[in-house]
């Protein structure tokens, strides 16, 4: 569920009446204290009806009980997609990355997305270069593009679902530019961590490192600057961290071809936490100055 901030009120103002008005009409909402103010949030699909009700309430107008019909607004999927273009683009690019893996004739395009230059000779990965080759050839896109490469349909679906669930929360909260910069930093952190992780696999990919960056960011920023968008269902963070710990043991590697990119997961998680801490520090410093 996506939440929209409608209006702020003084901390001492009693909002019981507007709460009753909204609740009686089935408009899902909540009030959160932030920076010494009360912030009224409503579920996205009800924002227009809530704004009208709030305006009528503030003007002291009588609100007809039948006005509830105006609140019967359905969620428009197309509108949600337009509001999260970066998240949608990442999922589409991930799907394209899977296509490059699934179709053998496109192998050279897949190789162009790997973290370092490499070649495939008679079914064997040969001529694997180093990170310095990536820089010497000015192929800087390789620093992030492995995130789009997915090696199975399950790999793609799993990462895409988490990208949509977590990524769109961050984009709705901070905007498309922040979401894009977040991805670039998180993907680089995840890829560089995996590259230096003790592993024999030079060919790695997937959005899971970015997904863990999303998770780390949301878990920390919700504690420091709580907002409805960063409120995850109970158990999600614990489950993801438990999965990370289990993968670290190496047990899961036996069941997954190519193994699990533990370095990418850990690097992404740390990157997300770092972004959250820096953002919270900046916002608090800015708030104190103003």
Write down the catalytic residue from 208, 222, 231, 287: 208
Measure the CA–CA gap between 19 and 242, rounded to whole angstroms. Answer: 39
Measure the CA–CA gap between 180 and 238, rounded to whole angstroms. Answer: 26
Annotated active-site residue 287? The verdict is: no
Annotated active-site residue 265? The verdict is: yes
Active-site positions read 208, 265
């Amino acid at each position: 569920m996506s939440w929209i901030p409608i209006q702020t009120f003084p901390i001492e103002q009693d909002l019981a009446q507007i709460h009753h008005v909204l609740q009686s009409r089935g408009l899902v909402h909540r009030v959160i204290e932030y920076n010494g103010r009360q912030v009224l949030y409503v579920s996205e699909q009800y924002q227009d009806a809530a704004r009208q009700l709030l305006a009528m309430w503030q003007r002291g107008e009588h609100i007809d009980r039948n006005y509830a019909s105006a609140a019967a607004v359905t969620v428009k999927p197309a509108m949600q997609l337009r509001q999260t273009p970066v998240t949608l683009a990442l999922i589409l690019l991930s799907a394209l990355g899977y296509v490059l893996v699934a179709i053998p004739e496109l192998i050279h395009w897949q190789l162009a997305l790997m973290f370092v230059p490499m070649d495939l000779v008679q079914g064997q990965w040969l001529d694997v270069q180093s990170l310095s080759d990536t820089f010497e050839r000015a192929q800087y896109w390789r620093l992030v593009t492995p995130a789009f490469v997915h090696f199975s349909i399950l790999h793609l679906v799993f990462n895409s679902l988490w990208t949509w669930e977590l990524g769109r929360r961050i984009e709705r909260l901070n905007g498309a530019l922040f979401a894009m910069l977040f991805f670039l930093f998180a993907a680089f952190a995840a890829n560089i961590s995996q590259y230096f992780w003790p592993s024999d696999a030079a060919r790695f990919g997937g959005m899971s490192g970015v997904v863990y960056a999303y998770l780390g960011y949301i878990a920390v920023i919700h504690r420091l600057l709580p907002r409805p968008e960063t409120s995850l269902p109970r158990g999600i963070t614990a489950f993801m961290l438990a999965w990370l710990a289990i993968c670290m043991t190496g047990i899961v590697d036996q069941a997954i071809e190519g193994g699990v990119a533990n370095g990418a997961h850990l690097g992404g998680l740390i990157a997300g936490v770092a972004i959250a801490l820096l953002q919270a520090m900046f916002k608090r410093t800015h708030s104190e100055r103003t």
